[in-house]
Chains A and B, each alone.
Chain A
Amino acid sequence: SYVLTQPPSVSVAPGKTARITCGGNNIGSKSVHWYQQKPGQAPVLVIYYDSDRPSGIPERFSGSNSGNTATLTISRVEAGDEADYYCQVWDSSSDRHVVFGGGTKLTVL
């Protein structure tokens, strides 16, 4: 089955840029979605179809997807961005299902 690999943790100072990667075999051929989850809360969609932003999500959040890596980029990081981030795709192989990455804890120093 299809596997998405994320780093367990990323740390960044306020005002700097955070990059969270999501690795998968030829992930560039798939549509990648990203979710933010703060402690005790439900996930929130922050990027869809690789690089689109839902209404209400700051422009500081952006995404890209090519080759074997998709990337969520958060510019000018704020303390309120500290959360877990998950990438997600639909695996359309014989075992049709949603696949989530293992999640990345973003720490704002």
Chain B
Amino acid sequence: EVQLVESGGGLVQPGGSLRLSCAASGFTFSDHYMDWVRQAPGKGLEWVGRTRNKANSYTTEYAASVKGRFTISRDDSKNSLYLQMNSLKTEDTAVYYCARVGLDYDSSGEQSLMDVWGKGTTVTVSS
């Protein structure tokens, strides 16, 4: 069964750090780009960022709201994705989902659809 399981969420003070993990199983993790998406309480989905695969040099992209504070990494030998979050703000409070990016290329030349999602892990930034 294809599965993504996030962990590492919790309560952290503003200015603090947290590292989220996403364990993948049931598919060839190393083939896929992987995304992080978050959802603040009562709000819509917000894309956080992406890591591409080894064939694309593990390049990363980030939303402007997290660039310079968050870092996405992966360990293909462990089938794991990570999100290192530093300098956390109250507005980073959200459920964080990891998502598998599908292998096909869209009209813009990018792999863009998210076909498998984890159940999410909750991050609360509060004093």
Identify which of A16-24, A66-74, A75-83, A99-107 touches chain B.
A99-107
- The yes or no answer to B56 lying at the interface (CB within 8 A) is no
Closest to B112 in A: A90
B114 and A45 within 8 A (CB): yes
For residue A44, which residues in chain B have a CB less than 8 angstroms away from its CB?
117
Other than the given A48-B113, A103-B45, 20 more pairs (CB < 8 A) read A1-B64, A31-B107, A31-B108, A33-B114, A41-B119, A42-B120, A43-B45, A43-B97, A43-B117, A45-B113, A49-B106, A84-B44, A86-B44, A90-B110, A96-B61, A96-B110, A97-B61, A98-B35, A101-B44, A103-B44
By the criterion CB–CB under 8 Å, are B113 and A33 in contact? yes
Pull 16 A–B residue pairs with CB atoms less than 8 Å apart, ordered by A.
A30-B106, A31-B112, A33-B112, A33-B114, A42-B118, A43-B37, A43-B117, A45-B115, A88-B114, A90-B106, A95-B64, A96-B61, A97-B47, A98-B37, A98-B50, A100-B46
A54 interfacial by beta-carbon distance below 8 Å: yes
Main SS at interface, chain B: loop
**In the docked arrangement, what's the CA distance between A103 and B61, Å?**
23
- B14 close to A (CB within 8 Å): no
- CB contact between A42 and one of B108, B109, B119 (< 8 Å): that residue: B119
Least Cβ–Cβ distance between B52 and chain A, in angstroms: 11
Task: Check if B102 sits within 8 Å of A48, measured CB to CB.
Answer: yes
Please give, as numbers and ranges, the residues of chain A lying within 8 Å of B106 by CB-CB distance: 30-31, 49, 90
Contact of B63 with A by CB under 8 A: yes
Given known pairs A86-B45, A95-B64, A100-B45, the reply for A30 and B107 (CB within 8 Å) is yes
A86 partner residues in chain B, CB cutoff 8 A: 44-45
Q: Are A97 and B63 in contact (CB under 8 A)?
A: yes
Q: How many residues from A make CB contacts under 8 Å with B?
A: 30
> In whole angstroms, how far apart are the Cα atoms of A49 and B104 in the complex?
10
Q: Are the C-beta atoms of A100 and B44 separated by less than 8 Å?
A: yes
Give every chain A residue within 8 A of B62 (Cβ-Cβ).
97
Closest 8 CB pairs of A and B: A31-B106, A90-B112, A98-B47, A92-B108, A103-B44, A42-B117, A48-B113, A100-B45
